[in-house]
Every structure is written in C-alpha cells, then in structure tokens.
Amino acid sequence: MTVRFVLTAFSAVLMLAACGEIGTEAPADGETLDAPLPGLTPEELAAFLKGDEQFGFAFSPVLGLGPIFNNVSCASCHSGDGRGRPENALTRFSRSATDPALDIGGPQLQDKALPGATPETLLAGVLTSLRLPPPVFGTGLIGAIPAASILANADPNDQDGDGISGRANMVVPAAFVPLDEPGGGSGPQLGRFSRKAQVTSLLQQITEAYHQDMGVTSDFLPVENVNPQVGTPTETADLAVDPELPLADLRAVVHYVRLLAPPAPGQDTPQRQLGEDLFAQIGCARCHIPVMQTGSNIIQALAFKPVPLYSDLLLHDMGDALADNRPDGQATGREWKTTPLWGLRLIRQFLNGQAFLLHDGSAGSVEEAIIRHGGEAQVARDAFVNLSADDRAALLDFVESR
C-alpha cells in the first residue's frame, strides 16, 4: 500500500544520509498499482493517504467483521490494488427464473462466519457466477468520463452492421447514494463499475463491498447482512455496535480509490507498434477503445485527462463460452462490460508470477482469454487465430505491455 511505500522511501533516505548508499530503490512512477494521481493538492494527498490506510485495515469481530463475510479487508481481495486471485473470487447467485436460490439471500454467497453464526451454503442445483475482484486503480478517471462520450459509442441495434452492438447498462442507483454524488441521480444512470457495469458510483460499489464482503455496516447500510438459511445472527456473533464503519472512514476510502493512478504502459518497440496496428486491424479496438477523455471536474487531477483504459465501458454479448446466466441491471447472462486492459504489464508482479484473466480468473494468459472470446468478438477472435505466429506474438506483446 502507499503508506508503506512512503515509510519505506523515507527510511531509504535516512539510510542514504547515514551510509552514502542503499541496496534498494523506490519504484519508479507508473510501476505500482497503488500510486496517487499526479497533481493532487496537499489536502487531497493527505486524504488519499488516510483512505489508503483504511483500505488495508483488517477488521476483527470486535471492530465490525461479520457475522457472515468473505474477507477481512479491501486489500485482502485486491492484490496490490490490482486483480484478485481465484481463491478470493466472489460467488454470485445466477438468479435464473428456475434457480432454487431465487428467493433467499442477497446477490452474494458469504462463505465465512464468526463463532455463533453460520456461513451460507449453496443449495443443490443453484446456479452461480464467480467474479474475480477487479483492479481498483483508475476508477476515478473512469467515473470522470462524460456519460455522453461513453454513450456515443453505443450501437445496441448494430446499425452500422459490423456485428458489434455495445450498449449501456442504465441502472437506478441505490437509494442511499446522494443526488450530488458522481453516479447519483433520481432515475436510471449510466453504469460504469463492476463486471457488468451494474453500479453507477464508487460510493455504492465500496459501501456494498464493506457490507457484503466484510459484513461491515455503515451509515448508508446500517443493518447487518444475515444468512437467510438460519435467520438473524445471535447477539454473541455480532460484537460491534452498528454502524460499524465511521462515515469519515468510508468517505476516505472512496476518495482514495477515486484518486488511484493507473500504472504506466511499457515502452514502445517496433514489435509493439506492429501489435498495436494489428490490434486495430482485426477489430479488437472497436470494443477495447484505446483512449477516452475526462471532462470538467472539481478535482483538477481528474479534469480533462486522457484515460488509456482500452475499453468502451459498454455491454457486449460474449457468447456461450463466457456466459454466466446472471442478469445484472439491464445486462443479460451473456453480456459483460468490456474489461479495461491497462495494468496488464504488471499483473504477474502482484500475483506471484501468474495471470488470472476473464471475469472468473480462469484464463491464465492473454492468448487464452482472447481465444475464449465469442459472440460479438467472434470475428476478431478468429482473425487473431488466423494471424501468423509472428503477428500473434506481436499483438500479444502489445496487449501485455499495457
């Protein structure tokens, strides 16, 4: 986390003064997943550091953990503020019309519990969808892109006949989201966050993560999550007084996530330039749009900035192989938001040399993830497979350098 990074860098300066040299160096700009956006004011940076500390804070039962939960902190799921690992994947109920779990529980399986409470278990025949924790860096930039810019790329009826019909997920924000919060509003708003763009605001995303993933209540969701299979938790299981997370701490985490910078891409090479050209030629860039632009913003570090995320933030039918049969908002069980590609260059550094891609982390390489594309991406996928070995290597090198 950034607090540890700051302390490490400070210690390194002291060692340099005392010994004239040090054995390690602080990471260069753009080489981590938890750095602040450039250009923050001193006040914004101080709030960022406070939120960074809270993001890594591990809850205990006396401080609000549980009674049913999945993990103990934000950082426990988001490795280095990047992608999670399969063991941290969250199980979502697929919610089909014939699903035995349709009428019990919330959207997510909580598989851990405090003493005195009972973790949720799956009933026979229940359909599930695994969701790998996504990276949290760059989400403030995503939230600052004008809705009109995103909607301009939507083509729900495929009027241009290119086989790609990206569409927006327009969803009503949770009732607790203030009207003046980015992504808030009294009616349907543009979804940008989570795997199917079913969440409109970082405030809702983070509030619900505390509530569902950690069992931590807040001013926005003050009532404990319970296991409907056994009823309400016993008093001995729920040790903390609700709400368990102070509003200032929740706001600090929202501020922290909003101001996380995406890592820098790798250096251009002739091979990567060829790969970028092929990426566009075979149609990948129609959904993985290389760069979008933020608009005006009260936070100057977010205002009028390029956003090299390689996504259109729209829903696309990805075919049977990737379907999870779980609707989210207006998204069907076959649709997914185009996953941003930024940060792929560093993914293995924070996952013990491995790469867990796609919504459930089941693809171990970029090539495997591409080959499993279907639906609207079938033509681009087939074009990739038909490239020469050298051209495929160039395209993969380009994507993995983002």
DSSP code of residue 116: T
Residue 232: per-residue pLDDT: 64
Amino acid at 192: R
Evaluate the omega torsion of the peptide bond into residue 182 and state whether it is cis, within 30 degrees of 0. no
pLDDT of residue 239: 86
* AA identity, residue 22: I
Distance CA 141, CA 294 (A): 7
Average pLDDT over residues 337-355: 93
| Alpha helices by DSSP H, 222-334 | 247-258, 270-281
Q: Is 7 a residue whose pLDDT tops 80?
A: no
Percent of the chain having pLDDT more than 90?
76
Alpha-carbon distance of 117 to 360, in angstroms, equals 28
228 CB neighbour count, 10 Å cutoff: 13
pLDDT of residue 4: 44
First-last CA distance in the chain: 22
Task: Please check the confidence at residue 5 and state whether its pLDDT lies above 80.
Answer: no
Cα–Cα distances (Å) from 9 to 15, 25, 42, 260, in that order, read: 10, 8, 18, 19
Q: Each residue of 237-290: pLDDT tens digit?
A: 888 999 999 999 999 999 999 999 999 999 999 999 999 999 999 999 999 999
Q: 326 falls in which pLDDT band (50, 70, 90)?
A: confident
Distance CA 281, CA 220 (A): 47
Identify the pLDDT of residue 217.
97
Would you say residue 15 has pLDDT above 90?
A: no
Asked which of 171-185, 252-266, 281-295, 322-336 is least confident by mean pLDDT, the reply is 322-336
347, burial (CB in 10 Å: exposed 0-12, middle 13-18, buried 19+): buried
* DSSP 3-state of 79: helix
Report pLDDT for 97: 53
**pLDDT attached to residue 10:** 39
Q: Where are the beta strands (DSSP E) in 100-169?
A: 112-113, 128-131
Q: Identify the CA nearest to 222 among candidates 206, 246, 202, 200.
A: 246
pLDDT band at residue 79 under the 50/70/90 scheme = confident
Amino acid in position 323: A
> Which residue reads 């009260």 in tokens?
298
- DSSP classification of residue 350: G
Q: Residue 298 burial (CB < 10 Å; 0-12/13-18/19+)?
A: exposed
CB 70, CB 131: distance < 8 Å: no
- The pLDDT, as a whole number, for residue 3 is 43
Could you give the residue ranges of the DSSP H alpha helices within 152-300?
202-209, 247-258, 270-281
| 61 has pLDDT over 70 | yes
Number of H helices and number of E strands within the chain? 11, 10
Q: Give the separation between CA 174 and CA 195, rounded to whole angstroms.
A: 17
CA 275 to CA 229: how far, in whole Å? 52
Indicate the DSSP class of residue 284.
G
Q: Express each pLDDT in 181-197 by its tens digit.
A: 999 999 999 999 999 99
Model confidence pLDDT, tens digit, residues 95-136 = 555 555 555 666 899 999 999 999 998 877 788 899 999 999
3-class SS at 396?
Answer: helix
Residue 348 has pLDDT above 60, yes or no: yes
| Structure token digits, residue 75 | 């950082």
d(CA 57, CA 41): 24
- Strand pairing partners for 306? 293
Sign of CA dihedral 51, 53, 58, 61: negative
**Which residue, among 278, 290, 266, 232, has the nearest Cα to 402 in the 3D structure?**
266
Distance CA 213, CA 73 (A): 8
Count CB atoms within 10 A of the CB of residue 52.
27
Q: Are 366 and 392 in contact (CB under 8 A)?
A: no
Mean pLDDT score of the chain, rounded to an integer?
90
Specify the pairing of strand 170-171 against strand 292-293.
Answer: unpaired
Mean pLDDT score, 57-64: 96
pLDDT at 233: 63
Non-local CB neighbours of 350 within 8 Å, separated by 6+ positions: 33, 79, 80, 82, 83
User: What is the pLDDT, as a whole number, of residue 125?
Assistant: 77
| pTM recorded for the entire structure | 0.90
